[in-house]
Each structure stands twice: as structure tokens, then as C-alpha cells.
Amino acid sequence: MHNGGITVSTYQFLKRFPDEATARAYIEDRRWHGEPICPYCGNAHRIQTRKDGYFCCPACKKDFTVRVGTIFERSHVPLDKWLLAMYLLTTARKGISSLQLSKGKHSVNPPGKLTSLIA
Ligand SMILES: [Zn+2]
């Protein structure tokens, strides 16, 4: 970052994704739309939810997280750091985020100026 500063939108971003659980839930929603799919066998039925982002597939008996099969899989970097890094990359390059992080997420968005801070 050439200026090294924290912008207002970065602040908003950090408020929105304060920890890995929040970031993981966001990525899960973007990837699966509320219905986890086993990355090993493709099964989407009766996927069991476990602790800390783990799911268990009843068809192939394997545990998985949203990281499996993505660029996050081999990384030990927390997902909230990943999200922040991607956010900073996209905003640095284009001036706005292509992630459109707030799209459809805030039901109580104030009209006008604040709505464009994250999207
Ligand atoms: Zn499976």
C-alpha cells in the first residue's frame, strides 16, 4: 500500500468481518448459498454441520470445510485475513471493490452516502 493508511471503507470492512467465523460464514454463503455441497463426492443431501466450520458428508463420510477445493485450501492464513487481502487488492486496483461485499446483505442500510462505502 503506497499510503499505508486505513481508509474509511477498510474500517467498515473490518467492522463487518471482525473474525474468522464471520468471514467463513460469508464465504460459505457465497459458495453454497445456504446449502453445503460435499467437495469430494458432490453430495448435497443431509450434510451435517459440525464445529468450527466443519461439515460431514453422510455419503462419503468425509469431513470438509469451505476451504476445500478453493485457493484457501492449502493456506493456514485465517479467512478474515484472506478476505481483507482480497478486498485491499481489489480496492487498490480499481478504487472500488469488485467483491460487492454489502450487496443484498444490509437490510438497514442508510440511504445515500454510507451505502457505497463497502460495495
Ligand atoms: Zn461426500
| pLDDT tens digits for range 28-75 | 999 999 999 999 999 999 999 999 999 999 999 999 999 999 888 998
Give the Cα separation of 89 and 77 in Å (integer).
16
Distance 58 CA to ligand 1 centre (A): 7
How many alpha carbons lie under 13 Å from residue 112 in its C-beta half-sphere? 1
pTM of the predicted protein model: 0.68
Domain contains 1: no
Distance 60 CA to ligand 1 centre (A): 4
- Residues 88-116 have pLDDT tens digits of 888 776 555 445 445 544 333 343 333 34
Distance 68 CA to ligand 1 centre (A): 12
Domain contains 97: yes
Distance 72 CA to ligand 1 centre (A): 19
Nearest C-alpha neighbor of 40 from the set 17, 15, 63: 63
Domain containing residue 12: 8-116
Distance 4 CA to ligand 1 centre (A): 44
Domain contains 22: yes
Domain contains 103: yes
Domain contains 23: yes
Domain contains 2: no
Domain contains 42: yes
Distance 36 CA to ligand 1 centre (A): 11
Q: How many domains does the chain have?
A: 1
CA geometry: angle 98, 105, 33, nearest 5 deg: 85
Distance 30 CA to ligand 1 centre (A): 20
Domain contains 72: yes
